[in-house]
Structure 1
Amino acid sequence: MPACRRWVRASWLLLILGRQSATISQLAAMLDSGKGTVAYHLRVLRDAGPVRVAELRQVRGGTEVHCRGTADTGQPPRLAERRSPTDRHQAR
């Protein structure tokens, strides 16, 4: 998937979660996307900081995770350090 599409999906997740809490299933339905794709992006955003777990609910023998945006969701998430091509060659 092109990087720009990943950022668009992450931006939509941040926009939605900045206004309401939602589960992976709810977000997947809103974005017309697969649960696995949404779960991946949520995990990346939670690790980066702009998304947090708001609530855990026991539902039919499983745990439903409600996520919500944090207060600093106005800034784009910093997912990885950018490295120059020379840095990449030196790391090998």
Structure 2
Amino acid sequence: MSTDELPDDVRHAYEVYRWAGREIEGLEEQRKAARSVIEEFLGESEELMVDGRKALTWYRSESRVFDQALAIQIYPDLDDKARKTKRTRSFRVVSDE
């Protein structure tokens, strides 16, 4: 189906989706740069105070994860026995022109 055949509301939704994606990308770049400045300022500190109030925290954490590569080394047939197929649909803009 071409975009010439689309109802006006769907065409509008497509244009908004494309525009919002570009805006979000730009904002994410700005956010990443701002975070970098804040992290450099904090150093080893865990809290950022703004106007006398706690505004941001940056705590270290630890978690346990499963080392899949090691498990397969130890139990080579585990990969085939434990693997399952997952089906998804990908929603993405093919061309942003």
TM range (shorter): under 0.3
Q: State the TM-score, normalizing by the size of structure 2.
A: 0.24
- The higher relative CO (CA closer than 8 Å, separation ≥ 6) is in 1
Larger Rg computed on CA atoms: 2
Task: Give the TM-score of the pair, scaled to structure 1.
Answer: 0.25
